[in-house]
């Protein structure tokens, strides 16, 4: 059950099943203080007139159910937010890992190009050496 604190006696009170009692100005107090000060509101000092107190019936069960549903929804939203934050962190980590892998690939691509260039140079040297050997064999052979 919902409760509040009386602004006159400062004690907490539960909202009664028979409704809440207010002076015409709308301030709220526990029922005992409201009846004791029925003619004048102790908060704003307004006179209440003919019918000093208003009884307001509140469907607390529905409100409590709504509050429970809202609390449950907030809890679910908090879980979803945490899940989303975790997913974002994981995606950032994955993105960084991909950037690192890309940097390694670019570096190794440069190494591969250099090695291919070296192989072409060596093939050129081998070709020259074969030609030299053939020429030497033909001349001296």
Domain harbouring 20, CATH code: 3.30.40.10
Residue 14 belongs to some domain of the structure: yes
Which residues lie below 8 Å from residue 53, measured CB to CB, with a gap of 6+? 21, 22, 23, 34, 35, 38
Between 141 and 24, the higher pLDDT residue: 24
Residue 34 domain flag: yes
Report, as an integer, the average pLDDT of 87-113. 93
Torsion of CA 34, 35, 37, 41, to 10 degrees: 40
Which residues span the domain enclosing 8?
3-58
Question: The pTM is what?
Answer: 0.39
Whole-angstrom distance, CA of residue 57 vs CA of residue 37: 20
Dist. CA 13–CA 97, nearest whole Å: 59
Q: What is the mean pLDDT of the chain?
A: 79
HSE at residue 62, side-chain half, CA atoms within 13 A, is 3
* 34-84 pLDDT, tens digit each: 777 667 777 777 776 656 666 665 555 666 778 888 899 999 999 999 999
Confidence at 6, pLDDT banded by 50, 70, 90: confident
With respect to residue 33, please indicate whether it lies within any of the assigned structural domains.
yes
pLDDT band at 118 (very low <50, low <70, confident <90, very high): very high
Query: What's residue 19's pLDDT?
Result: 57
**N-to-C CA span, the chain:** 115
Q: How many domains does the chain have?
A: 1
Q: pLDDT confidence of 97, banded at 50, 70, 90?
A: very high
* Residue 64 within a domain: no
């Amino acid at each position: 059950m919902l409760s509040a604190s009386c602004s006159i006696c400062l004690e907490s009170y539960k909202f009664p099943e028979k409704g809440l009692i207010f002076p015409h100005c709308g301030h709220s107090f526990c029922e005992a203080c409201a009846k004791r000060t029925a003619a004048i509101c102790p908060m704003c000092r307004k006179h209440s007139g003919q019918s000093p107190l208003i009884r307001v019936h509140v469907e607390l069960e529905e409100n409590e159910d709504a509050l429970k549903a809202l609390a449950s929804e907030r809890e679910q939203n908090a879980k979803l937010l945490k899940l989303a934050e975790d997913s974002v962190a994981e995606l950032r980590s994955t993105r960084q890992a991909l950037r690192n892998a890309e940097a390694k690939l670019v570096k190794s691509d440069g190494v591969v190009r250099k090695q291919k260039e070296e192989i072409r140079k060596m093939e050129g040297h081998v070709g020259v050496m074969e030609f030299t050997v053939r020429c030497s064999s033909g001349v001296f052979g």
